[in-house]
Structure formats: C-alpha cells, structure tokens
Chains A and B, each alone.
Chain A
Amino acid sequence: MDNILNNYKATRNIWRSILYSLPMLLITLVLMSGGDLNFKGHAELYAFTITFIFLNTCFFLMHYKGKTDLYRSVVFIVFAIFLSFSFITNMFEYRGAMTFNQADIIECNVPFCHLVIPMMIVPAALTESIIFPGSILNGFANISTMLVLWGVATIVMGRGFCSWGCFYGGWDDGFSRLIKKPVIKRIDTIWRWMPFAVLFVVVISASLTLVPTYCDWICPFKAVTEFEAVTSAESAIKAVIFFSLFAMLVIILPLLTKKRTQCTSLCPLGALNSLSNKISAFTVKIDTKRCTMCMKCVKTCKLSALTPDDVKAGRASLLCSKCGQCIDTCRQGAIQFSIRGFEAGKLIDLSRNLFIFISFLFMAIFASGSIQNGLSKILTLIIN
C-alpha cells in the first residue's frame, strides 16, 4: 500500500489507533445517549448500538488506514440519506404529506435549514428579524440551534462544513462515486465561481423582497425534504424546478463527472463558507518539495478547489472543503492537513489527527440523531 501517505505507515499500529479512537468512543457514547441509556424499546436500543458502532468503526478505520475521504464519505452519505428519510417520515407523521401549505407558513411551522443563512443576514441586520417562517427555539430544526451549529462549525472548520457537516452534500457526494471513471472528463473550472454569483443575486433579492428566494425557487434539496404544496401554477413551476435541478445537479452530473456539481456550481452557502476558510484553524497545504506535479489531486478534487496554479503555490484554494480526497490520492504524501501558521511538512500527524478528530466528532454527533431516528423507524417496522 505504497500509495498511502508515507507518514502514516508509522501510525498504522492497531493499538495506537484504538487508543486514539477511545476519546471519540467515550464522547460519542455520552453525547449520543445524552447521559441516559434507558431506551424506550428494542428498536431504539438497536438503532443506538448500530449507529454508535458504525460511527466509531469509521473513525477507527480513518485513523488506522490513513484514508480520510473514504470513511468520511461513508458517514457523510449515510447522514444525507437518513436525514431525508427521517425528515420525510416526520413530515408524513406530522402533516400527512411531504408538502407544507399556507397554514404552516402562517403558524411558523417550517423547519429551518442552514441554506437560508446567507439570505437572512442583511434583513436581520436592517430589520432586526428573521425572514423565515420557522420557530426561534422550539421544535424540530429551530433557527437558533441551527445557527449555533453552523456558526461554530464554520468558524472551526471553514468550508469543511460542506464536507463534514452539511446534511445535503452527501447526496451529490454519493452519486459522484457510483461509477469508476468520469464520462465527462473536462469541466471548465470557471463554473466554480458561479455560487458566488448565486450568493450575490439571492442575497440582494431576499433582502429586497424579504423572502428567502433560493429556498423559494431553486433549492434542489426540496426534492428530498419538503416543498410548497402544489396548489397553483407558480407552486407547480417551483416543484418542477426543484426536481429538475435535483435530477441534473445532484444525480446526473455528479454521476457523469464524478464531481459534486451542486456544491461546486450552485450552493450559495458554500460560497459564503468559502470566505470562512480565511480564518479557520486548519488548512490544506502542499509540500512543493515532495510534489511531482502529476496533478492527480487536481483531477480528483470533487469541488474543483485545486488548480495547477494552487499546486504550484503550495496550498488549496479558498474553495477547499477539506474532504481529504486529494490527500488520499497523492502518492507522494505531499498534501496534508495543516494547522494555520505552520508551513507544509510541519506537524503532519498532529495536524491531521486534530483536524479529523474535531471534524469527525462534529459530523458524528450531528448525524447520529438522524441515523438513529431513521434506523429506529426501520427496525420498528421489522420487529413489529
């Protein structure tokens, strides 16, 4: 396995990996259970156990095998699927449908998601209110909780939120891995700047209309969560747009290009999160002394965050989501997670271990609720 980072040959010691995984084991046990291991039924117990073992196994393997992206993506994709499954089943239980109607808007019963955040900033500053019909503190997916989660994750991980936290990213990440080689090999890197234009347009339009326009008109993930009930031509057009964009940007194009095309070319939150890469504690650096300029990292980067110029400069661009794909791909071990302020090649082990501990912990706890909830429902059906 010479293609795995040379540095990690030294860490591929099973006992060292078990020791390193122990804190994760303990913390996830406490946080997932909330300190209470009394479960309401067998389904809940089994769901908890399976989720706990799954998450900690992935973390252990991430450290032991030295492959960041592979095990990250497994959890990331499972998170996305179970989030949608839990969400949709909850909607059916609560409302009897995947759709929301005028009454839900008037009663401020619409669950909040982090994609609204870019659009609420300017109105929040000028009107001192949130332009979203949700709950501030109560219920499922309330605004305050989501803001805290997103805010802290973004400060800590920068755009790493897009690869370790966002519960939608797993969809196009998953579809991008289904086939071995891309059918469409060359994609103009100019498209990676489109989300900034989308961010600009939705921020202005949302500020002036006081409606989160991205969510209202072009969010592809409405197709796997909830959308406005189709009661008029306008709502029918919106539904067509959501499903078309989901099909094109989340399924078809990732399948053909092996890139996360929705995240690369549309998501305005990704553009906003990119700006936080400037302050986050961790970066991705390239050791130019080891780099042979083979450009495999550029070809495999799912967000087109690496260009030949970035490789020459020795660092990933602002768009990097720290997924670890380039790090796993590099045969020379030239690409590393790095603590800000340190040059490439310094404190490689510590930087990686610290970064994946922080990021995986966030992802594991964030994802555990949805995974447990979804598994519990499935197991309830099987057991009963």
Chain B
Amino acid sequence: MTESFILGLTTGSACLATCGMTLVPYFVSGNTSSKRVSAGLSLFLLSRLLVYIILGAVAWYLGQALFGESTFRPYILGTFYIIFSVLLIVYAIDKGKKRGCPLSITSGIEKKFLIPVSLGIISSLSFCPAMLIAVTNSASQNNITASILVFVMFFTGTSVWFMPLPLLSMIKNRQIIKTIAMFATAIAGAIYLFRGVTTIIKSIL
C-alpha cells in the first residue's frame, strides 16, 4: 500500500504537469470563490476515487483470470512491470511529443456541475503508464479488498498534487516544476523497471 502511495505521489506530478494546465483555467475562470473552487475540486476528486475503486475491483478479477495461482505469475508480473515502467520513462522524457490532455473533450459539456465530475472520470481513465503500473500492482494482490486499497492509495498519492491546484496560477516558474515532475516520474519508472527485472530474476533463481 505504501508503494502504491509512493507511485501515486511520484507520478501524480506528471499527471498534474500534463493535465494541470487544462484544469487550472477551469478552476481560476469565472467565479473563483474558495467555496466554488472547493466544491469543484471535491467533485473532481470524488469522481476519481469512485472510478479507481471500480478499477481496483476490475484489476483483481483480471489478475485472477490472467495468472491466479499460476507458476508463471512472477514472470508475467515482472514482464508487465518492465513494459509499463519503460513506457513511463519514455512518457516522462519524451520532450518532443506534445502531450495532449484528454480533459479537453469536456469543453463540450454545458451543465456546470458535470464538468468537474467528467474531468475526474476522464483523468482517472487516462491509462497512462503510471496507472498501468498501479493496475499491475492491484492485479497481483491476494484479495479484492487489497486490490481496491492499492488504487485508493494510488489515488491518495496523486491527489496530493491536485489539492493545491487552484493556487497553481499564482506559481511562477511552472516550467521548472513541470521539469522536476517529469524527472520524478522517470525515476519512479526506473524503480519499477528494477523491480520487474528483480521479480523475474528471483523467480528464475
């Protein structure tokens, strides 16, 4: 669980760096009273949490279906960790690619309270490499409660980054923060790559 929290904390910065620039205008546009911002943020986080709980349950069933008690379990897990962590590292350091935030599709929604809810749902279903690692972690748990808890801890870790979101517009040097966030994501990827490799090696030995 601690590990999932750390994963969320280190990679949530990348999510914020990518999608934060879409969320910030929403939070700072129009009526920026603290009540409105808090309400919007709460709806956003709540919808993310609900989606993650469902994902946790789905991941557990997937895990049972894919490897259950199979002797190949560590090999499959290790391989998934390696693939997703490499993707995470590439995702973090690929400077040339302009990362489009999927949240931009919410621009068509008219009902005001649905906007933070849809922002929350879409951001939690973005299936970025960090999320895929969380899915792998979740799928490898022994029971459904633990699987859901993995996602709850991942959510908690990422949410730390979204809490000060409304204040982001006040921060200068956002580019530096974005750079540091990307490096942190790459480091998290390296840690999971190491973990994937050692999982496979331990099973061989």
Chain A residues with CB under 8 Å of chain B are 190, 193-194, 196-198, 200-201, 204-205, 208-209, 233, 237
Sorted from nearest, which 6 A-B pairs have the closest CB atoms? A197-B183, A197-B184, A196-B180, A193-B179, A208-B2, A201-B187
Q: Tell me the complex Cα distance, A197–B6, Å.
A: 13
- Please determine whether B180 and A200 come into contact, CB atoms closer than 8 angstroms: yes
Known: A208-B6, A209-B2. A201 touches B184 (CB 8 A): yes
Q: Tell me the complex Cα distance, A197–B176, Å.
A: 11
Residues of chain B contacted by A237 (CB below 8 angstroms): 198
Residues of chain A contacted by B180 (CB below 8 angstroms): 193, 196-197, 200
- Please determine whether A204 and B187 come into contact, CB atoms closer than 8 angstroms: no
Q: How many A-B residue pairs have CB under 8 A?
A: 37
Contact partner of B188 (CB less than 8 A), chosen from A190, A201, A233, is A201
A220 → B minimal CB distance (Å): 16
Interface string of B73-97 (1 = CB under 8 A from A): 0000000000000000000000000
Residues of chain B contacted by A190 (CB below 8 angstroms): 179
| Residue among B13, B181, B184 with the highest chain A CB neighbour number at 10 A | B184
Known: A197-B184, A200-B184. A205 touches B176 (CB 8 A): no
Q: Tell me the complex Cα distance, A296–B191, Å.
A: 38
Residue of A nearest to B188 (CB): A201
| CB-contacts of B175-194 with A (<8 A) | 176, 179-184, 186-188, 191
Residues of chain B contacted by A205 (CB below 8 angstroms): 6
Residue of A nearest to B197 (CB): A237
Q: Tell me the complex Cα distance, A233–B198, Å.
A: 10
- B-side interface residues, number (CB < 8 Å): 20
Contact partner of B10 (CB less than 8 A), chosen from A193, A196, A204, A233, is A204
Chain B residues with CB under 8 Å of chain A are 2, 5-6, 9-10, 13, 176, 179-184, 186-188, 191, 198, 201, 205
Q: Tell me the complex Cα distance, A208–B156, Å.
A: 14
A303 → B minimal CB distance (Å): 16
| Residue among B183, B186, B187 with the highest chain A CB neighbour number at 10 A | B183
B76 → A minimal CB distance (Å): 21
A203 → B minimal CB distance (Å): 10
Interchain Cβ contacts under 8 Å between A and B, 29 examples: A190-B179, A193-B176, A193-B179, A193-B183, A196-B180, A196-B183, A197-B180, A197-B181, A197-B182, A197-B183, A197-B184, A197-B187, A198-B183, A200-B13, A200-B180, A200-B184, A201-B10, A201-B184, A201-B187, A201-B188, A201-B191, A204-B6, A204-B9, A205-B6, A208-B5, A209-B2, A233-B201, A233-B205, A237-B198
Q: Tell me the complex Cα distance, A196–B184, Å.
A: 8
| Residue among A194, A198, A209 with the highest chain B CB neighbour number at 10 A | A194
Residues of chain A contacted by B5 (CB below 8 angstroms): 208
Residue of A nearest to B198 (CB): A237
B160 → A minimal CB distance (Å): 10
Residues of chain B contacted by A197 (CB below 8 angstroms): 180-184, 186-187
Known: A201-B10, A204-B9, A204-B10. A194 touches B2 (CB 8 A): no
- Please determine whether B9 and A194 come into contact, CB atoms closer than 8 angstroms: no
Residues of chain A contacted by B2 (CB below 8 angstroms): 208-209
- Please determine whether B6 and A198 come into contact, CB atoms closer than 8 angstroms: no
Residues of chain B contacted by A194 (CB below 8 angstroms): 183
Residues of chain B contacted by A208 (CB below 8 angstroms): 2, 5-6
Residues of chain A contacted by B181 (CB below 8 angstroms): 197
